[in-house]
Amino acid sequence: MKLNYVTYCDETMPAYRYRMRMPGEYLGDYEITGLPVEADIHIYSKPYHQNEMLLSMHLQLAAERTIVLDICDDIFIRKGPVPSYMRQLASMAKAVVVPTELMRERVKEETGREAVIISDPCEFPEKPIKDISEPKVMWFGTFPNLFTLKDVNLEYPLEVVSARRAYRPCQEIGAKFTEWSMDNMKDAFDRNNIVIIPSVNERRLVKSSNRVIESIRSGLSVAAAPIPSYQQFDITLDWDMNRGIKNIKKTTPELQKYVRDNFDISVVGEQWRTLFDSISGVEQESLMTG
């Protein structure tokens, strides 16, 4: 089965790695492209653009193909042509996929479709759990999420790992800046022992748990805003990051095992395989033959 992921992302975006490259590598025959190419199933993941003519062309191409629409952010609250475009893609799709229960609810509200929940997988190797007696704090994420740090007023030194354009905002809030790369992320995980994940508004409540997962996986402890996708983890949940750090729960072997058992690519990849097999008729045939 040949898979084609259609996106405008690059590898600096978590969605590119978690929702496309990692499942694609696990399952086998795949390509990630800006426009659909020959394939059995086309997975549209972050396929949006502000150019209306380009979006119209995508809709015409999608109408002739077997597509799956992966919606990992609440794009329906955006201005411009993208929300309407995504609703039309959803109406064409064989399946709609989301990473969280709240995003599933949003998709139902906006499109009427019942979405399948498939979480983001772990990307980094599991590391020993770190001592947290002397807090060394980091935040990592995409540039659009950087605004969540604006009013935190952290009482601890902070390292931020993000895109290059985050350098100046980090200077403004007094944080050490590290430009994102896979190697820099690994080094930052090694340097620090606590990750903070603040949130400031309802738009963020649909967010996936990938930053919590990667932090636990790397042996760090987490203080995060109490948004729904984080509540399955035994971490410190608090809107106030300073209070969260003071009351931080240390990551446990049981918590790392929970992440390993539920978010390893061998688990998440099989969820994608089940979906794609169902669409291509593999599952139905096996049921008919007993």
Q: Write down all domains in the chain, each with its CATH number in brackets.
A: 3-121+263-288 (3.40.50), 137-253 (3.40.50.2000)
C-beta separation of 7 from 42 below 8 A: no
Give the neighbor-by-neighbor strand order of the sheet with 67-70: 30-33, 3-6, 41-45, 67-70, 95-98, 116-117
- Give the pLDDT band of residue 202 (cuts 50, 70, 90): low
Q: What single DSSP character describes residue 80?
A: S
pLDDT category at 137 given cuts 50, 70, 90 is: very high
Separation in Å, CA 89 to CA 61, 73, 231, 273, 280: 11, 15, 31, 21, 19
Instruction: Give this prediction's pTM.
Output: 0.89
In this prediction, residue 287 carries a pLDDT of 32
Average pLDDT, the chain: 92
Q: pLDDT, tens digit, for every residue of 241-270?
A: 999 999 999 999 999 999 999 999 999 999
Question: Is the pLDDT confidence value at 12 over 90?
Answer: no
> Percent of the chain scored above 70 by pLDDT?
95
Over 70: is that where the pLDDT of 115 sits? yes
Q: Are 5 and 13 in contact (CB under 8 A)?
A: no
| pLDDT above 50 for 83 | yes
Q: Quick one: average pLDDT of 197-219?
A: 85
Distance (Å, rounded) from C-alpha 42 to C-alpha 213?
27
Residue 144 has a pLDDT of 86
pLDDT over 50 at 289, yes or no:
no
Amino acid at 252: T
